[in-house]
Amino acid sequence: MSLAQLSLTVPEWILLGTTMAAAVLQLLFFLIVYMRPVRRSKLAPAPEALTGQQPPVSVIVYARNESHNLEQHLPHLLGQEYPQYEIIVINDGSTEEGDELLTLLERQHPNLYHTFVPEESKYLSRRKLSLTLGIKAAKYDLLCFVQANCRPMSNQWLASMVRNYTDSTGIILGFCAYTTRKGFLHRIAAFDNLVNGTQYIASALAGKPFSGSGRNLSYRKAHFYDNKGFSHSLNLHAGDDDLFINRTATGANTRVEYSPDSITETAPFSSFGIWKDLKVARAATRRHYKGAQPGIYRLEAAGSILFIAAFAATLAVGIIGRNILLAASASAIYIILYTVKGIVWRRLAMLLRQRPIALSLPFIEAFRHMFDLYIIIYRLFRGKQDYTYTFGGKKADYR
């Protein structure tokens, strides 16, 4: 072993220093920001400390020709242990099969109601129209929102969400887990869901809410009307959840609930194309976000890409130049960083009732970064066409 194999030149020091700096920034971000939900969960008050009166609630379920999902998931909503609540299903594009199912269930459950938006209705965002109809039909001020392809994972879901309301609370943000399935699509979709959920939960816990998910969300009917509903985003098909929250949520009027009983679960995507179109839709609305939080997470993603590039370059120079010290140092930094990342994501996945991704993390994270870059390039050429809601040639709602 020669001395050259155990020493570094100036360019090699620069490469290694860049790798080290990017790794340190990533470690700090993960330990301070992404671990916030884990730390705060340990400090959360016991459920009985939050549960006082249980006011009546209206649960609004959006469905787009989803009789199978309604048959599978409505029983979980109808089985909630809560004294007084109603369920309003908005069937966008009613089908005979869906109407028959809902009519049958209404006979068995007097707190279940449904209406529909005719297929021929012309409206820029049928989803926003559907939700507005549901909100207007709601009897009660407290509203909880889920989608037909989602189900509560506990019969205490409604109680867990509503217990957070105080006189000053207008919004409750919840989390929807991705159903565990085998296959690369489901792993990347689950990880993407975990990252997005962690980001809006961590920011809300810091008093800076910027987004939410309509698959598990609650706000007051009065809050909706006081903020003129969806009037600020009628030019977009999507945005009924994240853009509305981004525009109206503050540190003072928003609380977060992610206890095990409060989490809902969404059905897996049936194809890669549907997930891609969801990503395109979210990218279209995300550019309208206000506040610094989205920019902070974009910088974190850029830092992750910088680390991957710096590590690859440093390792390659070390191997090609047969510099054992350089290659070993870069490898050690990589192992430390991804060990910490793996621990953080595992703890978050367990906290939010998702399957941990373990050893596949480096590959899934790298693929997610590349796919996000692809979406940016895709939208540059597609332009305003990404405001439509066509999945695989068929109309569908953005989930």
pLDDT digit string, tens, across residues 120-177? 666 667 888 899 999 999 999 999 999 999 999 999 999 999 999 999 999 999 999 9
The dotted CATH code for 45-289 is: 3.90.550.10
Cα(266)–Cα(151) distance, rounded to whole angstroms?
7
Cα(318)–Cα(360) distance, rounded to whole angstroms?
25
pLDDT in tens, 34-43: 999 999 987 6
Cα(149)–Cα(48) distance, rounded to whole angstroms?
30
What residue spans define the domains of the chain?
3-36+294-395, 45-289
Q: What is the mean pLDDT of residues 175-193?
A: 91
Entry pTM: 0.90
Cα(97)–Cα(190) distance, rounded to whole angstroms?
31
CB neighbourhood size of 65 (10 A): 20
pLDDT on residue 84: 95
pLDDT in tens, 233-279: 877 778 889 999 999 999 999 999 999 999 999 988 888 888 988 88
Who has greater pLDDT, 395 or 149?
Answer: 149
pLDDT on residue 53: 67
pLDDT on residue 234: 74
Q: Which residues pair with 144 in a beta bridge?
A: 59, 218
**pLDDT above 90 coverage of the chain, percent:** 66
Who has greater pLDDT, 122 or 186?
Answer: 186
By mean pLDDT, which of 6-20, 309-323, 328-342 is the weakest? Answer: 6-20
Residue 201 tokens, joined: 């939960």
Given a contact cutoff of 8 angstroms between Cβ atoms, the answer to whether 145 and 214 are in contact is yes
CB neighbourhood size of 317 (10 A): 18
Q: Is the pLDDT of residue 392 over 70?
A: no
Q: Which amino acid is at 107?
A: R
Task: Name the 3-class secondary structure at 394.
Answer: strand
Q: What is the mean pLDDT of residues 356-364?
A: 86
Query: Quick one: which of 33, 48, 50, 41 has its CA closest to 258?
Result: 41
DSSP 86: E
Given a contact cutoff of 8 angstroms between Cβ atoms, the answer to whether 154 and 261 are in contact is yes
Residue 347 tokens, joined: 């703890």
